[in-house]
Copies of this chain bind each other. A is one copy, B any other.
Amino acid sequence: MPGLDEFFHPASVAVIGASRTPGKAGNTVVSNMLEFGFEGRLYPVNPGAGEILGLRCYRSLLEVPGTPDLVIGVLPREKTRDLVAECAREGVRHLIIPTAGFSDVGEAGRGLEDEVVSLARTAGIRLMGPNSIGTVCTSGNMATSIVTLERMREGGISLFGQTGMFSSGIARWIDTSEHFGISKIACLGNKADVDENDLLEYLDADVETRVIGAYTEGVRHGARFARVLRDVAAHKPVLVLKSGRTETGRRAIASHTGALSGSEGIYAGLIEQAGAIRVGDFEEMFDCAKALQWQPLPGGNRVGVVSITGVGCVLAADSAGGFGLVLPPPAAGTVARMRESMPAWAPAANPADIWAAIEAFGPRSAYTTVSLALLGDEGVDSLMVIFTLIPESDLDVVGLFSRLKEDRPGKPLAAVLMAGDAGMCREWKRSLETSGFPTYPSPERALRAIGAMWRYASR
């Protein structure tokens, strides 16, 4: 069977069911390809239209010059069988079917899905879907999504799974609120042919992908999944969000993508034993992904914490154990270094509450001295620095983090922007993250990411 590269780097793409009507899926696919600056050949196909978005429109796949590397079939489900037959006749090898109403609606649609897959397999066609929202590849300047996207920032994180959200709402969210950028996205829908094992193997070999995020509602070939996951996780971090934790959830899954979800315990064990990282929701997936993309892996589970506020220290201390982390007391030499910017009566501990130090020495001196001291401690493997964005805490935060990185390049760093002015939080997040330092809105979320990095590092 052919590989998957044409789903992301096709030289030519045909959109069957292309439409001139804005808002229709067959129009959106074409406009997304143009928005992303696709440099290959793009062929809208529709028997009734002469031109779509300035491109010549073809009456049928037969009319398209040559054989397109990738076909997207935006057609009613009754026409799916004919579409696959036509692709087979034309020698097409890669087909995306966004249409829903197959195994995702239960028994009523399963027969048609089986028939379509069987046709495709016989003809050597790799089929993504049905019920797939499409793919994105930033370096390939392409997006086959049936939902309107804007051109996305390029990065090292690739995502795939049974949800259309990756190629629609989540893609938009990442591009308007995060700074890590995306390499590839694939929405697998019902996974009638192309499934998570195929994607894992493809992204393993993909040099542009440094971190993988996967969402699954249940896998068909459990043993193969465990094996492939272990192989891939040995090369790069894989974050897995598995839904269907409860019986109610599993029933909802059956009517979403028709997947059999399997028991909670089996998946939890399988994912962690494979050396992959299990996450509980999308928020945790992206919190971990950005740290893994930008920061070195920690050499141990001992975290240094510097905080402008006592409650930050308490929340950090309260939650560290749950993420497999400890906050060790600083060594005697570290305490002496911390004391250089702390009032004599304030405790020089870990977590370090530096409010009194800021009042006495100013934020720059307090943050720099105490952070460098804790990061330099031989008993500390990573450092989390907590800020609250009030006028009193203003300082050159990127300068501070650059100095920390220069001082101990092998230890991961994380910034917490805990409350304060929302606009200032967005601005600090942008400054820090475009310099490669991950930020989090709470100590718990930062520690959860550091804990995941340590689990991965120690697998």
Q: How long is the Cα–Cα vector from A147 to B392 in the complex, in angstroms?
A: 7
Q: Are A353 and B173 in contact (CB under 8 A)?
A: no
Residues of A100-145 at the interface with B, using a CB-CB cut-off of 8 Å, are 100-101, 104-106, 108-109
Least CB distance, A385 to chain B, in whole angstroms: 15
Q: Are A248 and B310 in contact (CB under 8 A)?
A: no
A196 lies within 8 A of chain B by Cβ: no
Interface size on A, residues (CB 8 A): 78
Residues of chain B contacted by A347 (CB below 8 angstroms)? 105-106, 255
A431 lies within 8 A of chain B by Cβ: no
Minimal Cβ-Cβ distance residue in B for A313: B252
Identical chains in the assembly? 2
Q: How long is the Cα–Cα vector from A23 to B391 in the complex, in angstroms?
A: 8
Q: How long is the Cα–Cα vector from A444 to B244 in the complex, in angstroms?
A: 14
Least CB distance, A292 to chain B, in whole angstroms: 21
Q: Are B172 and A109 in contact (CB under 8 A)?
A: no
Q: Are B148 and A23 in contact (CB under 8 A)?
A: no
Q: Are B390 and A313 in contact (CB under 8 A)?
A: no
Q: How long is the Cα–Cα vector from A124 to B384 in the complex, in angstroms?
A: 44
Least CB distance, A98 to chain B, in whole angstroms: 10
Q: How long is the Cα–Cα vector from A347 to B256 in the complex, in angstroms?
A: 10
Q: Are A442 and B281 in contact (CB under 8 A)?
A: yes
Minimal Cβ-Cβ distance residue in B for A131: B310
Minimal Cβ-Cβ distance residue in B for A22: B391
Residues of chain B contacted by A322 (CB below 8 angstroms)? 246
A309 partner, pick from B109, B169, B321, B444, beta carbons under 8 A: B169
Q: Are B422 and A252 in contact (CB under 8 A)?
A: no
A169-B419 in contact given A252-B317, A257-B310, A353-B256 (Cβ < 8 Å): yes
Interface 1/0s, chain A 83-105, versus B by CB < 8 A? 00000000000000000110011
Minimal Cβ-Cβ distance residue in B for A247: B321
Q: How long is the Cα–Cα vector from A246 to B326 in the complex, in angstroms?
A: 12
Q: Are B321 and A421 in contact (CB under 8 A)?
A: no
A172-B420 in contact given A318-B252, A391-B148 (Cβ < 8 Å): yes
A268 lies within 8 A of chain B by Cβ: no
- 13 cross-chain CB contacts under 8 A: A101-B343, A105-B345, A108-B345, A109-B345, A148-B390, A165-B419, A170-B419, A172-B389, A172-B390, A252-B314, A253-B317, A256-B310, A257-B310
**Interface residues, chain A, with chain B CB atoms under 8 Å away:** 23, 25, 100-101, 104-106, 108-109, 147-148, 162-165, 168-170, 172-173, 176-177, 215, 217, 243-246, 248-249, 251-253, 255-257, 281-283, 309-311, 313-322, 326-327, 343, 345-347, 349, 351, 353, 355-356, 359, 388-392, 418-423, 425, 442, 444
Instruction: Give 9 nearest A-B pairs by CB, closest first.
Output: A249-B318, A169-B388, A252-B317, A169-B419, A256-B310, A177-B422, A176-B422, A173-B419, A163-B311
